Amino acid sequence: MRLMLMSQIKKEVAAAIADYQKGTHPGMMNEMNQVKTMYLKGGVTDSFLRACIKGGHQWCLPNVNIDNAVKALRQFDFNKSYKDFEELYNCIYELLGTIPRVRGRLTLYDIARRIGHVLNNQVSPNEYVYIARGARSGAKYVLSIQRMANKVFRLPITSFQSLFPNISSMDIEDILCIYFHEGKLKGITNPCIGGCHRKDNNKRGKC
């Protein structure tokens, strides 16, 4: 039974990777490139900082929380060279980790990857795959993990490499999130209602 399940998981993951690599879900990179364009054109403005905070999953964040996050991000050093994504993420956590609705692991990860994309030494996840919400559920499924402690928000990329060979940490997270919500990593129909990757913005679910 376990061998059959593992075989099914491998087929589902392979199909998800093949579909993803066709460019069917370009939302993450499009969003990151838009933020970088704002930075290159205008530098560190409040509009740019808001774009770093509010995008994708964060479309429903209340303005008061975004305003508080913008104030906090004004202290971030965009000229510093961060040695890896973990150092960058920790800096974002220190600045934003007490702000309601912004301090969630998924939001902090999304903000960190957007900011990492604009830095002179572009910093992106490498050693770890960050898992929250859909990506967390997808990771539990493909790795056959029954229970995972709430404090776990990233896993070594080595845990995924047999299923996701030569796929970046950031893309693994994106694939896990998208295809779990679409039901393609569970063998069931489970349309995404979270609003993360839907084209119909009027049918988004809760943030």
Q: Give the range of the structural domain holding residue 87, as residue numbers without chain letter.
A: 27-118
Q: Are residues 19 and 32 in the same domain?
A: no
- In whole angstroms, give the CA distance from residue 20 to residue 110: 19
Residue labelled with tokens 């996840």: 125
pLDDT confidence of residue 133: 85
For 69, counting Cβ atoms within 10 Å of its Cβ (0-12 exposed, 13-18 middle, 19+ buried), the class is buried
- In whole angstroms, give the CA distance from residue 126 to residue 86: 9
pLDDT band at 72, cuts 50/70/90?
very high
Domain end point (choices 55, 90, 118): 118
Q: Which ranges of the chain does DSSP label H, i.e. alpha helix?
A: 2-20, 27-42, 46-53, 63-73, 85-96, 105-118, 134-142, 169-181
Read off the pLDDT of residues 113-151 as tens digits, 9 standing for 90 and up.
999 999 999 999 999 999 998 899 999 999 999 899 999
Residue labelled with tokens 């995404």: 192
Domain end point (choices 118, 151, 178): 118
pLDDT band at 60, cuts 50/70/90?
confident
SS3 157: helix
pLDDT confidence of residue 197: 41
pLDDT confidence of residue 1: 64
Q: Are residues 102 and 67 in the same domain?
A: yes
Q: Are residues 10 and 65 in the same domain?
A: no
Tally of domains within the chain: 2
Q: Is the pLDDT of residue 192 over 80?
A: no
Q: Are residues 15 and 79 in the same domain?
A: no
Read off the pLDDT of residues 162-185 as tens digits, 9 standing for 90 and up.
999 999 999 999 999 999 999 999
CB atoms within 10 A of CB 130: 25
Read off the pLDDT of residues 90-99 as tens digits, 9 standing for 90 and up.
999 999 999 9
Q: Are residues 65 and 98 in the same domain?
A: yes
pLDDT band at 55, cuts 50/70/90?
confident
Q: Are residues 169 and 154 in the same domain?
A: yes
Q: Are residues 136 and 66 in the same domain?
A: no
Residues 76 and 115: beta-carbon distance below 8 Å: yes
Q: Are residues 54 and 86 in the same domain?
A: yes
pLDDT confidence of residue 119: 96
The rounded percent of the chain whose pLDDT value lies above 70 is 89
Q: Are residues 50 and 101 in the same domain?
A: yes
Read off the pLDDT of residues 152-161 as tens digits, 9 standing for 90 and up.
999 999 999 9
